[in-house]
Amino acid sequence: MTDSNKEVIMIIAKLVIISIVASALLGITYVPTQKQVKINYELARQDALKEIMPLAVNFEAVEGGIINDEGDREIYYYRAFDASGNPVGYAFFRKQVGAQGMIEVAGGVDAKFETLTGMTVMSHSETPGLGAMIVTPDFKNKFVNIAIADLSLSSAGGKIDSITSATISSQAVVDALNAKIEEVKDAEG
Amino acid sequence: MADSMKVWSEFIRGITKDNPIFGLVLGLCPTLAVTTSVENGIGMAAGTAFVLIGSNVMVSALRKQIPASVRLPIFIIIIATFVSIVDMLMEAFTPPLYAALGVFIPLIVVNCIIIGRAEAYANKNNVFYSLIDALGESAGFLLVLMLIGGIREILGTGKIVVFGHHLLSVPIEPATVMIMPPGAFLTIAILMAIVNHRKARKLARGG
Amino acid sequence: MVEKALFTILMEGLFIKNFLLIQFLGLCSFVGVTKDTKSAAGMSGAVVFVMALSATVSYLLFTYILVPLKLEYLALISFIVVIAALVQLVEFVVRKNVPSLYRSLGIYLPLISTNCAVLGVVLLNVMADYSFSQSIVFGISAGLGYTIVMLMMSAIRERLTLVNVPSAVQGLPHAFFIATLLSMAFVNYFRVIPI
């Protein structure tokens, strides 16, 4: 074997070794971090449910078909019960297109579909200082114990004041809640 | 004590003369994109610092093993590995920051500061000085991101909030344009003009 | 897959989410290669070509190799390697077959493998969960949006060489002041696009 051949083989061997070490490192990091991501996701959902329905202690998921290999099922919405087991309403998550990207909101409605018990934003990519204001307590408090009939922007005759220069984001939140409340109402008959 | 003097000067060089943004003009994209607030700036600088320190140390430690002809692909693999690790760690442990920085975390891989330092410094110096160089550059990057983030946040929202702590607020009508893309261009234009002006004055004074 | 009309994606790539002025991707070339229109056009041509190609290849790689093997965590490494390899391949093919094109694009090709706009397209496609056709449309429209801004910027800068500006503002600060104005236009005007 000539020297130049040897050199090429050395170079290739080094590249291969580095690639293998790199993939191994990534694999080692991937498993625990993915676990943590799943835990974070579940915790965030539990917190959100408690926040939007302070009266409820138990949430029973209404499930749909299987959505992934691990056998997780799609959750349509939750039936909420208080400490003595009486139904107090329904809680749900819904994704809606905002001004910049998807907004995921959580909402709760009472058992008679008359009052919204609360709203919170799970994730969004709206402009900081504008659309991103949908996560502020000021905005969220507007949705606490409000009649479903009044659940639209004040410009459209409702009782929700839009965030200044962020009508699209505010509208998306309102639309998401209204659309999902309709769906739950239909499902519950 | 000459040695510690040299260490200090190598460190401070990253903040002043070889500052990644104003000195070397590398890594403009994240500088402008994520500086809508001080908090995002700190997060981005922390992610970049991790990758820069990791890659500088690795490249420097392996510099005698890396064949010159394929050094760039190897640098890229080393850097991409560290970036992927940061990406996964931030997703798991700082979800709000991860959501705010979005695509710019994986894009650290093409941040020219990192491959630039690997090629220009770590490839030629020992592990210790490469580490100092990475720390200095990271500090310089952090300061610039905090400065731009601070200017934009205070003019754009009227207050500075860092990790839930309300640091200060000023009684001005917030100029929303400052946190929108044009505000980023305007801020860096003015800051660069100021830096140029100072450099020119220094030169005119003969040093 | 997300439901989004191809026209919407096209408009987002061209104007609403313009890579240079709104998303801040590819800024190094934006201030570096816009001193004259000819090199701006050359760079843009190379970017459009490589973006469309890498959007296609990386979609196939991600959907048919990485996802079935559950190796999503290798996505970033494989994308960057694919882009670097594609750039090399394009350079090789163009030099061999179209020497005239190589003379105008050639020197810009190596710059592209570290251009964050190209990797940005690929990553945004994966993040947005786009289908095959959506990925390609986004790749091409992002490249064309990049071209529009590069040409505008270089045309303005060519004319502004005749203008006297204070020495401190010359060069990069001047370019960023122009970018401020262009960006304001892009942020506000294109809100009228009905999507």
Name chain B contacts of A37, Cβ cutoff 8 Å.
91-92, 95
Whether A31 contacts chain C with CB within 8 A: no
Whether B180 contacts chain C with CB within 8 A: yes
**Residue C176 domain flag:** yes
Whether B198 contacts chain A with CB within 8 A: no
Closest partner CB to C77 (pick from A22, A29, A30): A22
**Residue C120 domain flag:** yes
Q: What is the pLDDT of residue A128?
A: 66
Q: What is the pLDDT of residue B46?
A: 94
Residue B71 has pLDDT above 80, yes or no: yes
Instruction: Tell me the C-alpha distance between A73 and A24, whole Å.
Output: 31
Neighbours of A51 (CB within 10 A): 16
Q: What is the pLDDT of residue B43?
A: 92
DSSP H or E stretch at residue A160: none
Residue C192 has pLDDT above 70, yes or no: no
User: Mean pLDDT for chain C?
Assistant: 86
* Minimal-distance CA residue of chain B relative to C128: B103
Cβ contact (<8 Å) for C73 and B84? yes
Q: Which tens digit of pLDDT belongs to each residue from B160-184?
A: 888 877 888 888 888 888 888 899 9
**Residue C145 domain flag:** yes
Confidence band of A129 (pLDDT split at 50, 70, 90): low
**Residue C190 domain flag:** no
Residue C21 has pLDDT above 60, yes or no: yes
Cβ contact (<8 Å) for B182 and C187? yes
User: Domain boundaries in chain A?
Assistant: 43-188
Instruction: Tell me the C-alpha distance between A128 and B34, whole Å.
Output: 10
Cβ contact (<8 Å) for A30 and C77? no
Q: Which tens digit of pLDDT belongs to each residue from B109-143?
A: 988 889 888 988 999 999 999 999 999 999 999 99
Whether B181 contacts chain A with CB within 8 A: no
- Asked whether the beta carbons of C54 and C88 are under 8 A apart, the reply is no
Whether C193 contacts chain A with CB within 8 A: no
By three-state DSSP, how is residue C68 classified?
coil
Q: Which of 66-125 (C) contact A at CB < 8 A?
A: 73-74, 77
- Asked whether the beta carbons of B69 and A11 are under 8 A apart, the reply is yes
Instruction: Tell me the C-alpha distance between A48 and A121, whole Å.
Output: 8
User: Domain boundaries in chain B?
Assistant: 2-204
Give which of C12, C73, C138, C183 to mutate to test A binding, by max A Cβ within 10 Å. Answer: C73
- Asked whether the beta carbons of A52 and A91 are under 8 A apart, the reply is yes
Q: Which tens digit of pLDDT belongs to each residue from B18-54?
A: 888 888 788 888 888 889 889 899 999 999 999 999 9
Give the whole-number percent of chain B exceeding pLDDT 70. 98
User: Mean pLDDT for chain A?
Assistant: 85
Whether B175 contacts chain C with CB within 8 A: no
Q: What is the pLDDT of residue A66?
A: 66
Confidence band of B2 (pLDDT split at 50, 70, 90): low
Give the whole-number percent of chain C exceeding pLDDT 90. 34
Domain boundaries, position C72: 7-185
